[in-house]
Homo-oligomer: A and B are copies of this chain.
Amino acid sequence: MHELRKHIALEIHEVPTGTAVFDWIIPREWNIRDAYIKNARGERVVDFEKSNLHVMSYSVPVRQRISLGELKDHLYTLPGQPDLIPYRTSYYREGWAFCMAHRQFEDLRDETYDVLIDSSLTEGYLTYGEYLHKGETQDEFLFSAHICHPSLANDNCSGVALLTYLAERMAGLETRYSYRFLFAPGTIGAITWLARNENNSQRIKHGLVVSMVGDPGGPTYKRSRRGNAMIDRAIGHVLQHSGLQPVVLDFFPYGYDERQYCSPGFDLPVGLFQRSRFGEIPQYHTSADNLDFIRPEHLIESYRLIAQTLDVIENDAIYVNLLPKCEPQLGRRGLYGAVGGDKDAAAANMAMLWILNLADGAHSLLDIAQRAELPFEVIRKAAEQLRESGLLSASRVER
């Protein structure tokens, strides 16, 4: 949070332990200072200082001397990926555990170990950050990133970074929508925000959960529960014209915080944007999800795809052809190549012809772009030219 506040005027919210948020209760706050497993010679064979993944998140404090057999009941490893430390949490069941590489686990001798987890579970706060870019209207676009995974680079330091950068770049720009950026722990954070903003949640006209946006995979988009919300159509269009091999999935009730936004009592038009699909790459929830795994070029491409999506959302509108009977004479207005019969002359004019043909009050620019199989940008620019020539209504009309 403090890092983010260097870039954007993040508002920090703290919600006390014990607060009811719908069916949930804000749990005690977990903090940890140190943790280790020492062998009989006093050597730290597992050391929290070296990687904070070594301790299962939300582990209760422990200070004990135990046998290897007992210790094993509190160890997580990945036998199939023996060099990686798994990432494990246990928010809602009391317990403690260490996570370690399987190769190291196999080297443990049958001796007595000293284990320490110097953690505390105390009355405290759930903390989330919020930043609002105000637009022309109170209608909102919600961006949401989870911040609860320690040390994982792609999941989700990448999402936090991308949204911070986006919010920073947006400052000073005039936009049609207001943009809300939410940085909160997964699940309980989104639930808490929804519980505290229930009345205002219907202002959210579009939204994206952003996670895992720095790896080389994807891009992947998971539709909102509605399936054909504007966000679904806009990002689907952008991905279709991206030149990449996007994967677009229908909503399913497992994943990130879209689960909460898309619960039936809210049913908000919020999708999930990722590169690789969560759970489908070997680095997922392991120590291999580190800074070597993510790359600037992938973050930039993710940023670009989201920015293009916002371009669609901001600019889509219905304009009407003011001369709808027969085609207007484009040539006279300098909008058309005047020499007929050329085999190639047509291509450049197709965007205008499509707009004039479909701008009947029933089709938005995105509708037209989809029908014409042209990028939104091309249609948007042609529509500007037509508006300047007086052939298209100057302002948006309601559907």
- Dominant SS among interface residues on chain A: loop
Do the beta carbons of B89 and A266 come within 8 Å of each other?
no
Give the CA-CA distance A24 to B336 in the complex, in Å: 14
Whole-angstrom distance between the Cβ of A375 and the nearest chain B Cβ: 17
Cβ-based interface call for A184 (8 A): no
Which of A112-120, A162-170, A326-334 makes up part of the contact surface? Answer: A326-334
Do the beta carbons of A357 and B23 come within 8 Å of each other?
no
Cβ-based interface call for A93 (8 A): yes
Whole-angstrom distance between the Cβ of A98 and the nearest chain B Cβ: 14
Partner of A93, one of B92, B279, B331, B349: B331
Give the CA-CA distance A354 to B259 in the complex, in Å: 11
Q: Which of A305-354 contact B (CB under 8 A)?
A: 321, 323-329, 331-332, 338-343, 346, 349-350, 353-354
Residues in chain B near residue A293, CB distance under 8 A: none
Give the CA-CA distance A312 to B60 in the complex, in Å: 46
Chain copies in complex: 3
Closest to A359 in B: B264
Do the beta carbons of B89 and A340 come within 8 Å of each other?
yes
Give the CA-CA distance A338 to B91 in the complex, in Å: 7
Do the beta carbons of A92 and B338 come within 8 Å of each other?
yes
Cβ-based interface call for A198 (8 A): yes
Q: Knowing A23-B328, A323-B22, A329-B24 touch, does A264 contact B357 (C-beta < 8 A)?
A: yes
Do the beta carbons of A89 and B265 come within 8 Å of each other?
no
Residues in chain B near residue A23, CB distance under 8 A: 323, 326-329
Partner of A357, one of B86, B225, B358: B225
Give the CA-CA distance A350 to B353 in the complex, in Å: 47
Give the CA-CA distance A350 to B266 in the complex, in Å: 20
Residues in chain B near residue A340, CB distance under 8 A: 88-91
Do the beta carbons of B90 and A339 come within 8 Å of each other?
yes
> Which of A21, A24, A195, A262 has the most chain B CB within a 10 Å cutoff?
A24
- Besides A91-B338, A266-B326, 6 new A-B residue pairs in contact (Cβ under 8 A), listed by A number: A24-B326, A90-B339, A90-B340, A191-B327, A263-B327, A264-B358
Q: List 30 A-B contacts (CB under 8 A).
A: A22-B325, A23-B323, A23-B329, A24-B326, A86-B341, A88-B339, A89-B340, A89-B341, A90-B338, A90-B339, A91-B340, A92-B331, A93-B331, A93-B339, A187-B327, A225-B357, A252-B350, A252-B354, A254-B346, A254-B353, A259-B357, A260-B326, A260-B327, A263-B356, A263-B357, A264-B324, A264-B356, A264-B357, A264-B358, A266-B325
